[in-house]
């Protein structure tokens, strides 16, 4: 059987603008534990490496001296659990698909392209979000932060999924929005399409990419070059 072309997608900030709901969950936790809340814009700069990293970076950035309080593993675990619980119950209140996503997924399916999600969100949360926002059925596999013993920026997060799909790294593209995606793709030897307004503090000039796009409108023109 001829191997399909494969596209791997990041989730937060790439397929779905999840920042509004992540902000609500973040601020819920911060209020409970006595830390400053943040705006949706600020949250966009903190997302990408899981709930624990988001909360830790938020507190570290706000008050370095206070970060020692969250070094206690028990408190950190309580904060993460509270975040995941609240977020899981409010996962699609305000989250929306990035412009052009649905149309591109339909086009890719018609082209017989294999598609999978590689995200640092917990696997069950990623699946729940994809189902509730109506695009889960487009994907052949969803790999979350806890699917393997490693996650992005470890390139094995991507290469393992390609292997599971019985794909070919030389016939694979990655679409992401941050340095986490970029570093994983670069190490895996997979070309990256980068969304320019990603969930990252870095400037796009600091992030490795092969192509830069605003959203998914007309992204087919780039993909056709690889098919």
Does the pLDDT value for residue 116 go beyond 70? yes
**pLDDT, position 56:** 77
Which carries the bigger pLDDT value, residue 54 or residue 38? 38
Query: Model confidence over 136-147: pLDDT tens digits?
Result: 999 999 999 999
Check 10, 12, 17, 177 and give the catalytic one.
Answer: 10
Written as six digits, the tokens of 146 are: 């806890």
Does the pLDDT value for residue 127 go beyond 90? yes
Q: Taking residues 96-120, report their average pLDDT.
A: 97
What is the spatial distance between Cα 73 and Cα 96, in angstroms, rounded to a whole number? 34
What is the spatial distance between Cα 162 and Cα 174, in angstroms, rounded to a whole number? 11
Coil, strand or helix at 6 = strand
Which carries the bigger pLDDT value, residue 64 or residue 183? 183
Architecture category of domain 6-17+95-224 in CATH = 3-Layer(aba) Sandwich (3.40)
Coil, strand or helix at 147 = coil
Nearest to 93 by CA among 169, 46, 23: 23
Share of the chain above pLDDT 70, in %: 92
Q: Give the residue range(s) of CATH 1.10.150 domains in the chain.
A: 19-89
What is the spatial distance between Cα 26 and Cα 51, in angstroms, rounded to a whole number? 9
**pLDDT, position 2:** 59
Query: Model confidence over 159-209: pLDDT tens digits?
Result: 999 999 999 999 999 999 999 999 999 999 999 999 998 888 889 999 999
For the domain spanning 19-89, the CATH number is 1.10.150
Assess whether the previous peptide bond of 90 is cis (omega < 30° from 0).
Answer: no
Which carries the bigger pLDDT value, residue 152 or residue 52? 152
Q: Taking residues 82-104, report their average pLDDT.
A: 95
- Yes or no: say if 141 and 8 are a contact pair by the CB < 8 Å rule: no
Coil, strand or helix at 172 = strand
Q: Taking residues 155-162, report their average pLDDT.
A: 98
Which carries the bigger pLDDT value, residue 72 or residue 40? 40
**pLDDT, position 70:** 54
Whole-structure pTM value = 0.90
Share of the chain above pLDDT 90, in %: 70
Active-site residue 17, yes or no? Answer: no
Q: Taking residues 7-31, report their average pLDDT.
A: 94
Q: Give the residue range(s) of CATH 3.40.50.1000 domains in the chain.
A: 6-17+95-224
**pLDDT, position 48:** 63
């Amino acid at each position: 059987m001829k191997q399909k072309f494969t596209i791997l997608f990041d989730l937060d900030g790439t397929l779905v603008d999840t920042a509004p709901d992540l902000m609500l969950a973040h601020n819920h936790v911060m209020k409970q534990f006595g830390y400053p809340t943040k705006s949706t814009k600020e949250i966009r700069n903190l997302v990408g490496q899981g709930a624990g990293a988001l909360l830790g970076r938020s507190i570290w950035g706000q008050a370095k001296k206070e970060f020692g309080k969250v070094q206690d593993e028990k408190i950190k675990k309580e904060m993460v659990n509270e975040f995941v619980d609240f977020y899981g119950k409010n996962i699609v209140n305000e989250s929306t698909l990035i412009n052009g996503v649905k149309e591109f997924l339909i086009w890719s399916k018609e082209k017989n392209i294999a598609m999978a999600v590689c995200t640092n969100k917990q696997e069950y949360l990623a699946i729940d979000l994809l189902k509730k926002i109506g695009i889960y059925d487009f994907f052949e596999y969803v790999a979350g932060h806890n699917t393997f013993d490693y996650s992005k920026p470890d390139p094995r997060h991507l290469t393992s999924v390609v292997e599971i799909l019985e794909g070919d790294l030389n016939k694979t593209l990655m679409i992401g929005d941050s340095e986490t995606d970029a570093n994983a793709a670069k190490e895996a030897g997979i070309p990256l399409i980068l969304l320019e307004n990603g969930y990252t503090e870095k400037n796009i000039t600091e992030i490795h990419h092969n192509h830069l796009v605003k959203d998914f409108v007309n992204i087919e023109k780039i993909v056709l070059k690889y098919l």
